[in-house]
Amino acid sequence: MKPAPFEYYAPTSVEEALATLQSLGYDGKVLAGGQSLIPAMNFRMARPAALVDLNKVKELFYIKPTSDGGLAIGTMTRDSVVEKDPLVSERFPIVPYVVKHIAHPQIRNRGTFGGAIAHADPAAQIPALSVALQARFLVRKQGGERWVNAEDFFMGPFMTVLEPEEMLAEVVLPPMAKGSGASYQQVSRQKGGYAQAAVISVVVVDENKRCKDVRVVLFSVGETPILSQTARKILVGNVPTAEAIAEVAEKISKDEVDPGTDIHGTAEYRRHLVKVLVRRGLTEAFERAK
Amino acid sequence: MAGKYVHQSILRLEDPELITGNVQFLDDIELPGMLHAAFKRSDYAHARIKSIDVSEARKLPGVIGVYTAEDFGDYIKPGPLQVPPPTAIKGATYVARTTMPIAKDKVRFAGEPVAIVIAESRYIAEDACDLIYVDYEPLEAVVDLEKALQPGSPLVHEDLPSNEAGHVRQERGSWEEAVKEADLVIKRKFFINRNAGAAMENRGIIVQWDKHAKQMTIWCGTQSVIALRNQTAARLGLFESQVRVITPNTGGGFGPKINTSLPDDVLITYLAMKLDRPIKWVEDRRENFLATTSERDQVHYCELAVKRDGTIVGLKDFFYHNTGAYNPYMMTVPLNSQTHTVTNYRVPNFLTEFYVVFTNQMIVTPVRGAGRQYGVFVMERMLDAAARELGMSPVEIRRKNLLPANAYPYYTSIIGQDFVEGVLDSGDYPTSFQKTLELIEYDKFVNEVQPKLRAQGKKVGIGVACFSEGTGVGPYEGARVTVGGNGKVVVTTGYTSQGQAHYTTFAQIVADQLGVDVKDVKVITGDTGYFGWGAGTFASRGITVAGTATHLAAQKVRQKALKLASKILEAPEEELELADGVVRVADIPSKFISLGDLANLANPMRGTMEPGAEPGLEAVAYYGPPYGATGAGAVGLIIEVDPETMQVSLEKMAFVHDCGTPVNPMVVDGQIHGGIQMGIGDAFYEELIYDENGQLVTASFMDYLFPQATDMPKKLVLGHMETPSPLNPLGIKGVGEAGAIPIPSVFVQAVENALQETGVEFDRDTLSPSRIFTYVQQAKGA
């Protein structure tokens, strides 16, 4: 379990990092927290020709409030920093709660918010969280940049729209709407383990407790985070009764997810979990919505 | 039996150095000019090797050599048996196909080495492995335990007529008569899965050959230094004295590290001599999963004959035991399973029979529990099934059949891993069971708590299980106790340590005999340069066998000290006492001599010595028990199951154990805690899974789940019983494996109880929530 040979670059500025990525092209791979990439390299499942280590790029570590009440998070911000940041808790209480479920404290001390998104593990929390919160990503390359919505970012397992010379630089979370509530439900074999099924629910209600918006994002049960369309169709404009929520849960588990059978659980069990977790999650999110 | 130190919970003497990182583990050792080894391992579970091309690998800069079986010539042959065959059991049959150090012509499990690379660094060695091209002809893999014995199955060893590796049948009384006498005969099939030892520190070895002194030094975290030394010397044509094996601090053993004559020690000792450079190999976790021995799958077909009142009249068990691709450890594991089905309860008639089966999987050798937990599992499951069918409570049926307190010594009529009839030396099973019921508050839970919680829709359940553990078996261990001129004491033993607190517990025993401060007793274990006799660290035998040898050696030294002091102090021995590091005349405090001065006087540099006298305050003693001392206990568990997700939470566990005299009760608690955690892994998480091609699909901790601190019961209560063993002077029984043994049994029973209304019944352990869900769905369908 030693990695195959690779070149190593440790730029100290974004400009230098982008120039290095540009020159390396397909040979270059960004190293953020390294909590997924390094084990994959030690197993020799990943064999990047060159690593561009962002750990010395100080300008990528930050959490800043945005004027509209949202947040901008630098790509290299450690998970544990996000987890403990008072501004994050204040503006997005769901975020630290979800982040706490990522592995163990040692891993969160190294793992980064942007790194998890760019890695696009279908069983990872932060990609799903970014879809649920309608995050926007600032993607930079030498001499250019573009904004990508979280919903459009994930192409498949470990696949995103990022080009080899590009780098995810910043994650912007727009403010939570008035009357919103959120919930996170996850089942994993062990504390800190991969989810067998998980769902993040963000709902918005009006003064009459009718559902204005609902975003149910499932992960670990398909190739990318899955944003449910069913939940919207059934719930928006209506009072979210227990029956309506049960119907949503039933339909999502049948139609919108595609869990596989693995050594820890059958597809049937994981589909059943989706049904249970969506019901529990939506119920909790609507209870919290105000 | 309590002393100033024995029976006291003193803190572990080894901890300050361990906690401050002031110790050396194997991988910390760097020698000048040291090379590194890596293995090219088979991708196939079963294949013929057509050719191996190492030419590219040899060209890589930094590679010293790449070797396949043919490069070693006649040196490559199957290793020696690590455990003798069970010839003491009448009618037992066996064949031995022991471990090949490197595959020749054919690979028999995925991960078996086909080449070894020696390079300037481990990185280069692994790069070179990638450049070795092996042309295989894949063969159908033997994976399924029962199909392996059917005619037409592919053969793991083609020189044998079948995959049968052995057969043992043991009986008492008459099963046929038992069936006639019984009101009910219950039949069940059980499946037992396979687990890894998974020590925190993987295996590893460093070998250095000094060509001038003609001396080999091996550093290895082995559980048996003596076997490693002797087998190495024999293989290389050296005297035992030319090979010194040293165990550095070792991060856990749990069984697999008992094995020697493995690819690493066989090949690396040879290459270190040939290349005249020290070589290091440190196993990585993937290799540990793939190619370090693990334990057992078994399939049991069991029948229990009972009277209407629950009394057992007979048991019949027939099982298959998977031994993997080779069987160097013979039958220790299945014999433990076999004996432990019938040694805790009164079973007047039994017939128990097993077949050992070769498969294209990893070699099976003991892992903590060593098969005992599955003897216990089978019996406990059968009792649960009987209780259910008879409308009895699980408590009632156990009370009815537990061996009574006056049953000892109890002759079991069954031969165990030490090849003698098992005799339960002492114990009080009904009392330990009763104590467990009290600690878990069984009656209160069943009568008050459970109905209340069930009314609220909660699925809460309780389980109770009993177990015994044959421990402290022979053949023998030894120790040398030496008082230095500084008055401090050194104990050396061939017994090795992997974290069990021997440096404390052995010191406690010696300090009591010699009247010294326990901190003045230094214990050296597992270094053949200091002590060259012993068998190894297995079967929960450290404190029972090596501890007793230490006690006997310390007693001899005490006698020597008293005799010499008596002359010098001009007082009869009966009036002398050893305390505070001196020998003194009991009533005259001013009349004393220090142990250090006595030690110097016992080693005169000039003058004369009495004929027959031995110099120094030093003595060696050996101890070998006639049969093992049997520990026992019981466990109760309360759990809650989420009725939808089937997630299980362990609310409370009560565990009562009897290991005779606990030399250090705190260390005993630690052993029980660790054992319980391993048992929880067994019951709920750990599972080595091979696919239909014999590929291990759980070769990392991502896939092989291991119990964490957060998986322990929310509340854990221990209770201790002490029925001293009559077999040794301190009254000790072993405790190292106890915690792990009854956990699968109690866990499965508790989950069943929580889900009682579904009627679900489990025929296996490792109950993941998904598996529980599937069983419940099936029970609902049925």
CB contacts of B714 in chain A (<8 Å) are none
Q: Which of A132, A155, A173 is the last residue of a domain?
A: A173
Token code pair at residue B597: 């001065």
Region B488-514 average pLDDT = 97
Domain extent at residue B461:
426-472+629-782
Co-location of A81 and A159 in the same domain? yes
Model pLDDT, residue B294: 95
- Distance, CA of B730 to CA of B6 (rounded, Å): 9
- Residue A1: inside a domain: no
pLDDT bracket for residue B609 (50, 70, 90): confident
Region B627-644 average pLDDT = 96
Co-location of A159 and A84 in the same domain? yes
Q: Which of B595, B623, B651 is the last residue of a domain?
A: B623
- Residue A89: inside a domain: yes
In chain B, the residue whose alpha carbon lies closest to the alpha carbon of A197 is: B645
Instruction: Work out how many CB contacts closer than 8 A connect A with B.
Output: 64
In chain A, the residue whose alpha carbon lies closest to the alpha carbon of B130 is: A4
The count of structural domains within chain B is 3
Residue B755 has pLDDT above 70, yes or no: yes
- Residue B542: inside a domain: yes
Q: Closest approach of chain B CAs to the CA of A127, in angstroms?
A: 20
Residue B612 has pLDDT above 90, yes or no: no
Region B687-709 average pLDDT = 95
Query: Are A72 and A87 a contacting pair, CB within 8 Å?
Result: no
Query: Are B634 and B433 a contacting pair, CB within 8 Å?
Result: yes
CB contacts of B687 in chain A (<8 Å) are 263
Cα maximum dimension of chain B: 92
- Residue A2: inside a domain: no
Chain B (268-297) residues lying within 8 Å, Cβ to Cβ, of chain A: 284-286
- Distance, CA of A11 to CA of A57 (rounded, Å): 7
Model pLDDT, residue B613: 86
CB contacts of B770 in chain A (<8 Å) are 196, 264-266, 269-270
What mean pLDDT, rounded, does chain A reach?
97
Co-location of B448 and B502 in the same domain? no
Co-location of B559 and B602 in the same domain? yes
CB contacts of B280 in chain A (<8 Å) are none
- Going by C-alpha positions, the residue among B396, B391, B390, B411 that lies closest to residue B346 is B411
Q: Quick: pLDDT tens for A62-121.
A: 999 999 999 999 999 999 999 999 999 999 999 999 999 999 999 999 999 999 999 999
Q: Which of B253, B274, B291 is the last residue of a domain?
A: B291
Model pLDDT, residue B296: 83
Co-location of A68 and A157 in the same domain? yes
Q: Residue B127: which of A5, A263, A264 has the nearest Cβ?
A: A5
DSSP strand pairing (A7-9 vs A50-53): parallel
Q: Do B130 and A196 touch (CB under 8 A)?
A: no
Helix axes A267-288, A242-251, angle to 10 degrees: 150
Place of tokens 């005999």: B513
Q: Is this complex scored with an ipTM above 0.90?
A: yes
Q: Does B164 touch chain A (CB under 8 A)?
A: no
Co-location of A187 and A278 in the same domain? yes
Model pLDDT, residue B30: 97
Q: Closest approach of chain B CAs to the CA of A2, in angstroms?
A: 6
Model pLDDT, residue B496: 95
Model pLDDT, residue B272: 98
- Residue A203: inside a domain: yes
Q: Quick: pLDDT tens for B209-253.
A: 999 999 999 999 999 999 999 999 999 999 999 999 999 999 999
Co-location of B433 and B540 in the same domain? no
Co-location of A224 and A126 in the same domain? no
Q: Residue A272: which of B122, B285, B773 has the nearest Cβ?
A: B773
The sign one gets for the Cα dihedral B230, B236, B239, B243 is negative
Size of chain B in residues: 782
Region B174-182 average pLDDT = 98
Q: Do A44 and B130 touch (CB under 8 A)?
A: yes
Return the percent helix, strand and coil in chain B, to nearest 5: 30, 25, 40
- Distance, CA of B113 to CA of B49 (rounded, Å): 12
CB contacts of A123 in chain B (<8 Å) are none
Co-location of A48 and A74 in the same domain? no
Model pLDDT, residue B1: 63
Q: Which of A173, A206, A232 is the last residue of a domain?
A: A173
The count of structural domains within chain A is 3
Q: Does B658 touch chain A (CB under 8 A)?
A: no
Co-location of B707 and B618 in the same domain? no
Residue A12 has pLDDT above 90, yes or no: yes
Q: Does A264 touch chain B (CB under 8 A)?
A: yes
Q: Does A160 touch chain B (CB under 8 A)?
A: no
CB contacts of B774 in chain A (<8 Å) are 266, 268-269
Co-location of A33 and A69 in the same domain? no
CB contacts of B284 in chain A (<8 Å) are 1
Chain B (594-653) residues lying within 8 Å, Cβ to Cβ, of chain A: 644-647
Place of tokens 């593990």: A121
Q: Do A265 and B705 touch (CB under 8 A)?
A: no
pLDDT bracket for residue B782 (50, 70, 90): low
Model pLDDT, residue B168: 98
CA dihedral B286, B290, B295, B297 (to 10 degrees): 120
Residue A290 has pLDDT above 80, yes or no: no
Q: Supply the CATH number for residue B265's domain.
A: 3.30.365.10
Q: For chain B, report the end-to-end CA distance as a whole number of angstroms.
A: 56
Q: Does A290 touch chain B (CB under 8 A)?
A: no
Q: Residue B703: which of A196, A263, A270 has the nearest Cβ?
A: A263
Domain extent at residue A114:
59-173
Q: Supply the CATH number for residue A162's domain.
A: 3.30.465.10
Q: b or e along A55-67 (b: 16 or more beta carbons within 10 Å of the residue's beta carbon)? A: bebeebbebeeee
Region A221-245 average pLDDT = 97
CB contacts of B290 in chain A (<8 Å) are none
CB contacts of B685 in chain A (<8 Å) are 189-190
Q: Do A276 and B703 touch (CB under 8 A)?
A: no
Size of chain A in residues: 290
Co-location of B489 and B457 in the same domain? no
In one-letter notation, the amino acid at residue B254 is F
Q: Supply the CATH number for residue A33's domain.
A: 3.30.43.10
- Residue B736: inside a domain: yes
Q: Closest approach of chain A CAs to the CA of B126, in angstroms?
A: 7
Mutate to test the interface with A, among B281, B645, B695 (most CBs of A within 10 A): B645
Residue A239 has pLDDT above 90, yes or no: yes
Q: Does A263 touch chain B (CB under 8 A)?
A: yes
Co-location of B567 and B675 in the same domain? no
Q: Which of B240, B259, B291 is the last residue of a domain?
A: B291
Helix axes B394-401, B429-440, angle to 10 degrees: 160
Region B622-636 average pLDDT = 95
- Distance, CA of B296 to CA of B190 (rounded, Å): 13
DSSP strand pairing (A195-205 vs A167-173): unpaired
Co-location of B590 and B719 in the same domain? no
Q: Do B700 and A43 touch (CB under 8 A)?
A: yes
In one-letter notation, the amino acid at residue A249 is A
Give percent of chain B with pLDDT exceeding 90.
97
Q: Residue A269: which of B130, B700, B774 has the nearest Cβ?
A: B774
pLDDT bracket for residue A143 (50, 70, 90): very high
